[in-house]
């Protein structure tokens, strides 16, 4: 529906990217992204409106990231990015800012402007782990913390939180 890779393709790609990152000793970031208020769109405007919103957001995400970044849709309103050569919040910020900017303006659906926010959780290879499950778990924990802060935020995983 969105033209993005699904969860299965993402996991095989992440495995490949992690193998390469370990081999050449390069960092990468995993970004879990969830649309804030997506359920309200489905509930109030219907699932076809939600589908069109997902299609537009997918297009915007692909345009907002760098050409060598990987974007996938895990399901529902959950997306995930693989960002090579990103090792901390400072190197992450330009990409995250671009993603937020791409979503600053509403999506018009059936003549109605629809706005959603974004919540993002981030983990970094190698400091947050070297295995797929650990990196995804930590990015998911950070996403949960971002959503707790009322959304429209990104949080990098930290053992302290």
Q: DSSP letter string over 28-58?
A: EEEEEEEEETHHHHHHHH-HHHHHHHHHHHH
Residue that is written with structure tokens 């979503």 in the block = 103
Active site residue 77: yes
Give residue 135's region: left, alpha or beta (phi > 0; psi -120 to 50): alpha
Active-site position among 77, 85, 104, 128: 77
Q: Which residues contact 155 (CB under 8 A, 6 or more apart)?
A: 120, 121, 122, 142, 143, 145, 146, 149, 161
CA dist 149 and 147 (Å) reads 5
CA dist 22 and 121 (Å) reads 22
Which residues are tagged catalytic?
77
């Amino acid at each position: 529906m969105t033209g993005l890779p699904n969860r299965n393709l993402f996991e095989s790609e992440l495995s490949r990217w992690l193998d390469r990152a370990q081999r050449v000793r390069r960092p990468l970031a995993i970004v879990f992204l969830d649309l804030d208020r997506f359920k309200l769109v489905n509930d109030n405007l219907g699932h076809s409106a939600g589908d069109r919103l997902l299609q537009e957001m997918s297009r915007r995400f692909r345009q907002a990231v760098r050409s060598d970044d990987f974007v996938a849709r895990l399901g529902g309103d959950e997306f995930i990015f693989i960002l090579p050569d990103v090792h901390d919040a400072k190197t992450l910020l330009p990409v995250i800012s671009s993603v937020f900017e791409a979503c600053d303006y509403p999506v018009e659906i059936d003549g109605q402007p629809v706005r959603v926010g974004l919540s993002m959780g981030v983990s970094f290879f190698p400091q947050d782990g070297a295995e797929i499950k650990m990196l995804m778990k930590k990015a998911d924990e950070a996403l949960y913390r971002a959503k707790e802060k009322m959304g429209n935020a990104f949080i990098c995983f930290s053992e302290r939180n």
